[in-house]
Amino acid sequence: MKSKITRPESLKNVETHYCAGCGHGIVHRLIAEVVDELGIRERVVGVAPVGCAVLAYDYFNFDVSEAAHGRAPAVATGMKRARPDLIVFAYQGDGDLAAIGTAEIIHAANRGEGITVIFVNNGVYGMTGGQMAPTTMIGQKTETSPRGRIAESEGNPIRVAELLTQFDGVKFVERCTVSKPHNVLKARAAIKAALQIQVEGKGFGFVEILSPCPTYWGLQPRVAMKMIDERMTEVFPLGRYKNVYAQAAAR
Amino acid sequence: MAKVIIDTRRCKGCELCVDACPQGVIAMSKSLNDKGVHFAQPARLEDCTGCGLCAIMCPEAIIEVEREEAQGQGPPGPAHRGSGARS
Amino acid sequence: MAKKSLMCGNEALSEAAIEAGCRCYFGYPITPQNEVTSYMSRRMPEVNGQFVQSESELAAINMVFGAAVVGARAITSSSSPGISLMQEGISYLAGCELPAVIVNIMRGGPGLGNIGPSQADYFQATRGGGHGDYRTIVLAPSSVQELVDHVFLAFDLADKYRNPVMILGDGVLGQMVEPVEIAGRHVARRQAKEWALTGCRGRAPNKVRSLILGENELLEHNRRLQEKYRQIEEGEMRSEAVEAGDAELLLVAYGTPSRTCRAALREFRQRRYRVGLFRPVTLWPFPSAALASAAKDARAVLVVEMSAGQLIEDVRLSLAGRAVPIDLLGKPGGEVLQGAEVDAAIEKAISMHGLKRR
């Protein structure tokens, strides 16, 4: 018997614009694999953010819309409310979700919209050239924090997974990373769990993925991955923060 | 018998697959592809177990992994438990 | 025979949206349009529709965007400051060519202004308002019944042209109670929406975007949009002329002030002055040709607006090259235009331009 790992059907066979070693490509593939596995390719609708993943609609082989910067959760809300039979997910970066779109993510989560949000956190604005993000780590140098981020004047990195966990409307929260193979598999399982919850009509799921930006971290891709494990996970601890249904089942 | 196939024309040379391979099967090329990068290629294919870790890490989704599985044998590698669309 | 009922403009427009098949309302409270959000919060659940009180007008317009993307009819309403916040979303709707209906029950500005009726968002509504070369179809009803009919028209035009449509009313129109007929008045003209994101079963995936990076592609996209806007200009200009045929003094007004003008017109006609009224019903596309024709024999034009001189610019553009003087009665600041003010302005025009009784 032959077993084969191939490109998922839900990922178009095209080259991405991402830099070498960028985590977006891995996350795209994971979403595509899960969509295939759940058999929802023909009823899934994605919302692409403004940021490096803005062209996600060119890579996913299913229906995808753009959204204005930060507004993906509001757009996804409108989609899901209008067509509850569709499986709707928003794909957002850290500037999109945790800076300009803070209101939209918090309120979509608090309303418990029946959508899934995939949050790719690489601590930097990639598309505009490496500026500081709300999730940039203390001391991390960026285009707009040339001396390294200073808590006193620039605040501390925002921990979105922890922030959203407190809302009753949120049913599933996990922070994972794509730093090495077993973490990628965990991220895949988290994406699957969050989408599965939506397929079952059970509410808002959120997956934060720590992802490398080798270009604007100024690191080789392999070193960037180590940086996630060694430094980023200290600020952003990995783990399943919430799964209402698993907790209910355990009780 | 396992096989790893890399679409080397689209490789951006990030080397994540090289790090991921427990058998040291994949190495970077001496030559350049059309993008002007040293691309990943299966250098010691005979050692490939088909675990799929390289494909799991590839941001470009350009690595395919094939392997023969004995009848009745459970899926051994992590890749075959989790990641990857199988045909 | 459909039944007439007494309703205020805000409630009537809400029910009209439901009659038009809209099941998605997203909005944020702001005076003087709060009756819309209240009404929709009660009514939408009764018809298995969706009501979301959004966290902001930014969110509201983007929820409309989302509902529109998946092919649903969606509406939002607000008043001036809230509409300013929506401009981002309206630009995206126009760029992505999505149908949506936006109601602006205007209040006094700039800034927070006041909650009085105003027409000060004319420029914002007719010039695009947000960034980029785009147009929004703008309808300007002057009665509660026309407001209802414009809601039907707005949904149909939005679908037909895949373009946002704005209904521009003022606080008076939103609050005013008039007899109105809604049920059975709308003949649905449903458009197939092959472009919508409904899941890619049996077809290639659809994408909706306004980011167009390829060389000359955005240029082509803009040219196509402009071509569409020309079609809208050709097909959808609407206006009303009242006793304009022999008018020496032509009043030009839209919305609530047009009613004040209509009353003044009757009075001055009784006094045998040849006064007429031209009322643009679509503010974009502005009915320039119809205005030029209505003003054919006019010796003077008086523009009456509840703003400081915005409508008058389109009147000047429409009558460019004509020697006719164009006067302005503009009342900004969210204050209701009084009949006496219009009468006085007409008297002034009569004496200034030496207009004679018939």
CA distance A52 to A126: 6
- Under the banding of pLDDT at 50, 70 and 90, the label for residue C358 is confident
pLDDT confidence of residue A251: 58
Of C100, C121, C122, nearest in space to C280 by CA:
C122
pLDDT of residue C63: 98
Q: Which two tokens stand for residue C204?
A: 């290639």
Q: Quick: pLDDT tens for C61-102.
A: 999 999 999 999 999 999 999 999 999 999 999 999 999 999
C138 touches chain A (CB under 8 A): no
> For residues A22 and A228, is the Cβ–Cβ distance under 8 A?
no
CA distance C329 to C308: 8
Q: A202 is written with which tokens?
A: 């059970």
Structure confidence by residue, pLDDT tens digits, B25-82? 999 999 999 999 999 999 999 999 999 999 999 999 999 999 987 665 444 444 444 4
The pLDDT of residue C113 is above 60: yes
Q: What is the pTM of this model?
A: 0.96
Q: Which of B13, B50, B71 sits opposite A20 (nearest CB)?
A: B13
Question: In chain C, which residues have their Cβ closer than 8 Å to the Cβ of A83?
Answer: 70-72, 198
Cα separation, A26 vs A148, in Å, equals 28
Q: Give the pair of three-digit tokens for residue A75.
A: 């757009």
Question: Given CB atoms, is A16 within the 8 Å cutoff of chain B?
Answer: yes
Q: How far apart are CA C213 and CA C54, in angstroms?
A: 32
Check if A147 contacts B (Cβ < 8 Å): no
- Subunit partners of chain A (3 or more CB pairs within 8 A): B, C
β-strand A239-243 against A124-125: which pairing, if any?
unpaired
Cβ pair C164, C125 in contact under 8 A: no
With an 8 Å CB cutoff and a minimum of 3 pairs, decide whether chains B and A touch. Answer: yes
What does the pLDDT look like over A113-138, one tens digit per residue?
999 999 999 999 999 999 999 999 99
Angstrom distance (rounded) from CA A89 to CA A111: 16
Q: Is A78 on the interface with C (CB under 8 A)?
A: yes
Supply the ipTM of this predicted assembly.
0.97
Cα–Cα dist A66/A53, whole Å: 10
Q: Sign of the CA dihedral C342, C348, C354, C356?
A: positive
Whether C22 contacts chain A with CB within 8 A: no
Alpha helices in chain C (DSSP H): 9-19, 34-46, 57-69, 80-96, 122-126, 144-161, 171-175, 217-236, 256-270, 288-294, 311-318, 339-352
Across residues A185-197, what is the average pLDDT?
Answer: 98
Query: Which residues are CB-contacts of C209 (< 8 A; sequence separation ≥ 6)?
Result: A48, A57, A65, A66, C96
Touching, B vs C (3+ Cβ pairs under 8 A): no
Instruction: Determine what percent of chain C is predicted with pLDDT higher than 90.
Output: 96
Q: Sign of dihedral through CA atoms A112, A117, A122, A123?
A: negative
* Alpha-carbon span C271 to C260, nearest angstrom: 17
Q: Do A83 and C70 touch (CB under 8 A)?
A: yes
Q: What pLDDT score does C134 carry?
A: 98
Q: Do A66 and C96 touch (CB under 8 A)?
A: yes
